[in-house]
């Protein structure tokens, strides 16, 4: 894709848009705060559109310490056995409705830029990748459209297996789970994804080297994504969004490189 020149005013209404998915146990407002450094650095290139998850959730790790005043906390997928039970069709419907609300609200604000990519953190990275994956399979195997914008790339920060199948009309490919599953459950029982069915949409994987979940993030990269379409960025951080200038700058350069290649 071609990237825009710097705008002559403060508006981002006509530049390409990224659909952004927060982690489990937070919400879109918290994610906007967490991404403030990244969004500021990319403000002349992308407009960030934050989606609010549809389900009330137990707060994520360390969320209450900083963001207690920003409740309620939300989630996309079940991540504890005691989380509210739901059917896969219902979960898919509510996720799609949340996406539509975010897009419609941004359109009403006057935004006209094309949605070109997805960005997600933790559970939101799993969801963002699963959207790309479901869209890819529907297009290439079922020869159908997904109903989402035709995303070209994904920015996945601390994503983990398994890939979630987000379509209620067809069974998911080998190695995926449905949207009603506990997203943090062990995946050893799942058969491996076929190489021919891995995610091949270009993705940037961002891994914090101090993140306790690093082995799971690496497993997601290698087991679910075609190596020819992935870029890995490792940084000296834990389970969070980079916010120091040097870390953000490195991430920005990789995002721009990814976008220009699509």
End-to-end CA distance of the chain: 5
Task: Classify residue 107: in a domain, yes or no.
Answer: yes
Say what the pLDDT of residue 9 is: 55
Task: Classify residue 12: in a domain, yes or no.
Answer: no
- Each of the 262 residues of the chain gets a pLDDT tens digit; together they read 767 654 545 479 999 999 999 999 999 999 999 999 999 999 999 999 999 999 999 998 789 889 999 999 999 999 888 888 899 999 999 999 999 999 999 999 999 999 999 999 999 999 999 999 999 999 999 899 899 999 999 999 999 999 999 999 999 999 999 999 998 877 888 899 999 999 999 999 999 999 999 999 999 999 999 999 999 999 999 999 999 999 999 999 999 999 999 8
Pick left, alpha or beta for residue 2 (phi over 0 → left; psi -120 to 50 → alpha; otherwise beta): beta
Say what the pLDDT of residue 23 is: 97
Residues 6+ apart with CB under 8 A from 174: 191, 192, 193, 194, 197
Task: Classify residue 34: in a domain, yes or no.
Answer: yes
Q: Give me the phi and psi of 73, to 5 degrees please.
A: -95, 145
Q: Which of 28, 183, 239, 247 is catalytic?
A: 239
- What's the burial of 242, exposed, middle or buried (CB within 10 Å: 0-12/13-18/19+)? buried
Say what the pLDDT of residue 8 is: 43
Q: Which of 122, 130, 146, 183 is catalytic?
A: 122
Instruction: Report the CATH number that the domain containing residue 90 is assigned in CATH.
Output: 3.40.50.1820
State which residues form the domain around 127: 21-260
Is 211 a residue of the active site?
yes
For 95-137, the pLDDT digits (tens) are: 999 999 999 999 999 999 999 999 999 999 999 999 999 999 9
Say what the pLDDT of residue 4 is: 61
Say what the pLDDT of residue 187 is: 81
Task: Classify residue 142: in a domain, yes or no.
Answer: yes
Say what the pLDDT of residue 53 is: 98
Q: Give me the phi and psi of 157, to 5 degrees please.
A: -100, 115
Asked if residue 185 lies in contact with residue 178, where contact means CB atoms within 8 angstroms, the answer is: no
Q: What angle do CA 242, 221, 95 make, to 5 degrees?
A: 75
Is 228 a residue of the active site?
no
Task: Classify residue 145: in a domain, yes or no.
Answer: yes
Say what the pLDDT of residue 237 is: 97
Task: Classify residue 11: in a domain, yes or no.
Answer: no
**E strand map for the chain:** 17-21, 47-51, 55-56, 74-75, 115-121, 153-157, 163-165, 176-178, 203-208, 230-235
Query: Cα separation of 196 and 194, whole Å?
Result: 5
How many domains does the chain fold into?
A: 1
pTM of the model: 0.94
Task: Classify residue 197: in a domain, yes or no.
Answer: yes
Q: Which of 207, 211, 217, 247 is catalytic?
A: 211
Task: Classify residue 169: in a domain, yes or no.
Answer: yes
Is 239 a residue of the active site?
yes
């Amino acid at each position: 894709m071609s990237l825009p020149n710097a705008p002559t005013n403060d508006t981002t209404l006509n530049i390409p848009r990224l659909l952004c998915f927060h982690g489990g146990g937070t919400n879109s407002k918290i994610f906007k705060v967490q991404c403030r450094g990244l969004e500021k650095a990319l403000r002349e290139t992308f407009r960030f559109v934050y989606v609010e998850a549809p389900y009330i959730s137990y707060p994520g790790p360390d969320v209450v310490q900083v963001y207690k005043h920003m409740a309620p906390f939300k989630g996309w997928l079940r991540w504890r056995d005691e989380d509210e039970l739901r059917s896969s069709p219902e979960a898919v419907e509510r996720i799609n409705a949340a996406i539509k609300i975010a897009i419609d609200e941004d359109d009403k604000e006057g935004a006209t830029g094309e949605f070109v990519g997805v960005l997600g953190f933790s559970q939101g990275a799993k969801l963002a990748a699963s959207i790309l994956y479901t869209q890819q399979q529907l297009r290439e195997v079922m020869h159908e459209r997904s109903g989402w914008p035709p995303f070209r790339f994904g920015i996945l920060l601390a994503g983990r297996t398994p890939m979630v199948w987000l379509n209620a009309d067809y069974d998911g490919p080998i190695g995926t789970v449905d949207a009603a599953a506990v997203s943090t459950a062990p995946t050893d029982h799942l058969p491996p994804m076929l190489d021919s069915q891995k995610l091949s949409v270009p993705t940037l994987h961002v891994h914090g080297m101090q993140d306790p979940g690093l082995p799971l993030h690496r497993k997601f990269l290698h087991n679910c994504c075609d190596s020819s379409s992935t870029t890995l960025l490792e940084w000296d951080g834990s389970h969070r969004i980079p916010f120091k200038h040097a870390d953000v700058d490195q991430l920005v350069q990789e995002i721009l490189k990814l976008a220009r290649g699509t």
